[in-house]
Each structure stands twice: as C-alpha cells, then as structure tokens.
Amino acid sequence: MGAIVLAQEGGGVARRRLMGVALALAIAATLGGFLFAYAPNFFSVRNCLNVLIQGSSLGVMAIGLTFVMIVGGIDLSIPATMAFAAVLGAFVMPVWGIMAGVATMLVSGLAVGAFNGLAVAWFEMTPFVVTLASMTVIGGATVWMTNSQSLSDFPDGFFDLFLSAPAGVPVAVLILAVIAAIATLILSSTAYGRSLYAVGLNAKAARLARAPVEWLLFSTYAISGLLAGVAAVMLTARLGSASANLGSDGVVLDIVTACVVGGVSIYGGAGMATGAVLGALFVTLISNSLNQLGVSYFMTLVVKGIAIILFIWIDRISGRASR
C-alpha cells in the first residue's frame, strides 16, 4: 500500500506514509495473531471474498470522499445520501424497471452532492456544518419516505445483474475496481485532477494560476454524491433491501477512517484513490475480524473511534512537516 502511494507523490510525504503504513501493519498483525488463534475461519476463501465484497461499497464511497478531502473539504452526508438514493431507487425500480431504478439512484445522489457543492463553493458555508445539515435533512427524508420500513420489492433481474460474478469476480468488486481506476486516472493524469490538488494545497495560488476554484469545489461534492448513488446500487443488490438504516452514524466514521488510513490528508492537497480503497479494505477487515473474534458491535465502535484519532494524529504531525 505504501509503495503505490509513494510512487505517485513527491518524496516529501514519505515519512507520513511510512508511519501510517507501519501503524496499519501493526494493527493488522495484532489482529491477525488473534484471528489465527481464535477464529481461523477468518482466513477461509469464502470469508475473504466476503470482506472484499463488503468493502467494495465502502471503497466506492471512500473514493468519493477522497475527492472532497483533496480540495480540503469534508462530506458527512455520504451515507445518508446513499440511503436516500437507495430508497428512491427502490420506489422506482418495481414500477419502471431496473435501469430506471439504477438511474434514479445515481441521479439522486448526484443531486444531493450538487446541493452540498453549491452551498460550499458559492455560498461559502463551512463544509462540515453544511454536510451535517444535509445529512440530517436527507436522513429524515428517508425515514419519512419509508415510514421506517425497509423496501425489498426488487425485480429478480436486478440481483441477477449485480450479484453475478463474471469469471469468478463479483460484480461489486468489478465496479469498485473500475471506479478506482478511473478515479486514479483522473486524479493523477488530468488537468482537472491536478487542479484539485492545487486548490487543496493553496487555493490562492490556484486562483492566481487561473484555476476556476468554485467549480472545482462544487464538482468534488457532486462526485461524492454520485458515488454515494453507486454505492446505493451495490448495497441494495447485496442486501436485497433499502432502508434508512443503510446510512447510520457508524458508516460516516468508517468512510473518514478509510480515507485517513489510506493517506488522504484532512488538510487537503494529498491522497490517492487507491489509498482510499486500501483504507476501506482495512476498515472492513477490522470490522470483520473483530466480529469473528466475538467482539461486540459497540466495542468495534470504540476501536474505530480510537483508530481514527491515531491516524489523524499521524497525518497531522507529518503533514505539518511537509508543508
């Protein structure tokens, strides 16, 4: 994980990566030890595949957050948007077909993202509170629309499509891979991607160099909304149902943790999609392994809360050095 990230950025951030990687490996090793002793099932092919599939929707959302974090923002509304998109799609699909349902999920995610982007870029509101507010409103809307029920009226074709595994690779993982590849390409090799990093590093300098700062900010929130929509598709296919519960508090933390562990800086200007994906896998691994070890859901929350503070701390002490 560290090697890929290192190769794509200047050497100055090497120290931070190394520390982050070291910490992640340390945690993984510790867990691995416990797992080997107490829950050898963890290492079965089935479980590993499971982790991959579970992690792919998280990974997609983490990629969305990566875009936002690179320009120095944050988006807390991603899980809520995902649940919202899932529910809207669940209404549409039985009536107008699979494609319409999927399209609805994508478009509604995009719409929420666009709204956030508008507020942050042009109304100059603080990203944290804007996305907090939209998270609350969207979450409430989802509960209202479903009357706190869960929707599961999906046509079989939907599952056939999204749960299949061409050549043995589950579709969910394929989707993740494709999105990760596109995101990596955009971020590392397009003018747009470069501009995002520039805005995150130094918005003044970016503006001076004629970058359209407002549009760039706006676009990142739109993208994270869109990817939340994609995650909605993946998750509803896997779970077979859509409800407001999809977007609970814990998921927000997971996404942020995934990005921070994956080397995306909370201060902006650094991070790669591949890092976010690896971070998402790491988080899923933690959840899965703690689960296998019989640790309660609640304790898992505690572990994650502590982990995020640790990784942010590393981000900070090395982030300051490289600026």
Partner 1 sequence: MIGAALEMTGVSKTFAGVSALEDAHLSIQAGEAHALMGANGAGKSTLMNILGGIVAAEGGEIRIAGRVASIASPRDARANGIAFVHQELALLASMSVAENVLIEDLPRRGGLIDPAAMAARTQPLLDRLGCGFGPQDPVEKLGMGDRQMVEIARALASNPSILIFDEPTSSLSAREKARLFDVIRKLKAEGAAIIYVTHFIDEIFEICERVTVMRNGRIVGSGATPDFTPGDIVKLMLGDIHQADRLRVTPAAPGERVLTVDSLSAGGFLDGVSFTLRVGEIVGLWGLLGSGRTEIMRAIIGLDPIDAGAIALRRNGALVPVSPHEAHQSIGFVTEDRRGEGLLLPLSVARNVSFGNMAAVAGRFGLIDRNRERTLATGLVERLKIKLNSVDQPVRTLSGGNQQKVVFSRWLASSPPIFLLDEPTRGLDVGAKSEILALTVQLATAGAAVLIASSELEELMRVCDRYLIVQRGRIIGDLGPDADRDALLAAVSETSASSPTLSSVA
Partner 2 sequence: MTAIAQGTLGHWFTRNGFLLIVIALFLFFSIVTQHFASVANVLAMAHTMAPLVIIASGLALVVFTGKLDISVGSIAFLSSAIAVLLMHDAGVNAPLAFLAALVTGALLGALNGFVVVFLGINPLIATLGSMIALRGVALQLTNAILIALPESVRGLGNATIGGVFVDVIIAAVILIVVHVLHRRTVFGRRLDAIGNGEDNAIRIGIPVPQTVFLSFVASGFLASVGGLIGLLQVGAISSYLGKGMEFTAVAAIVVGGVSLFGGRGTILPGVLLGAFAFTMIANGLNQMSADPYAYKLVTGGLIFIAMYVDALRTRRLRRIPIRPPAQAAS
Residue ranges in contact with partner 2 by CB under 8 A: 74, 119, 123-126, 128-130, 132-134, 136-137, 139-141, 143-145, 249-250, 252-253, 256, 266, 296-302, 304-306, 308-309, 312-313, 316
3-state secondary structure the chain: CHHHHHHCCCHHHHHHHHHHHHHHHHHHHHHHHHHHHHCHHHHCHHHHHHHHHHHHHHHHHHHHHHHHHHCCCCCCCHHHHHHHHHHHHHHHHHHHCHHHHHHHHHHHHHHHHHHHHHHHHCCCCCHHHHHHHHHHHHHHHHHHHHCCCCECCCCHHHHHHHCCCHHHCCHHHHHHHHHHHHHHHHHHHCHHHHHHHHHHHCHHHHHHCCCCHHHHHHHHHHHHHHHHHHHHHHHHHHHCCECHHHHCHHHHHHHHHHHHHCCCCCCCCCCCHHHHHHHHHHHHHHHHHHHHCCCCHHHHHHHHHHHHHHHHHHHHHHHHHHC
Least distance in Å: CB of 192 to partner 1?
9
Nearer to partner 2, 82 or 176 (CB): 82
- For partner 1, which residue of 26, 99, 181, 209 counts as binding (CB under 8 A)? 209
Least distance in Å: CB of 116 to partner 2?
11
Least distance in Å: CB of 195 to partner 1?
8
- For partner 1, which residue of 1, 13, 183, 222 counts as binding (CB under 8 A)? 13
The partner in contact with residue 168, picked from partner 2, partner 1, none with C-beta cut-offs of 5 to 8 angstroms by kind, is none
Nearer to partner 1, 195 or 300 (CB): 195
Nearer to partner 2, 136 or 164 (CB): 136
Which residues contribute to the site for partner 1 (CB under 8 A)?
10-13, 185, 188-191, 194-195, 197-198, 201-202, 204-211, 269-270, 322-323
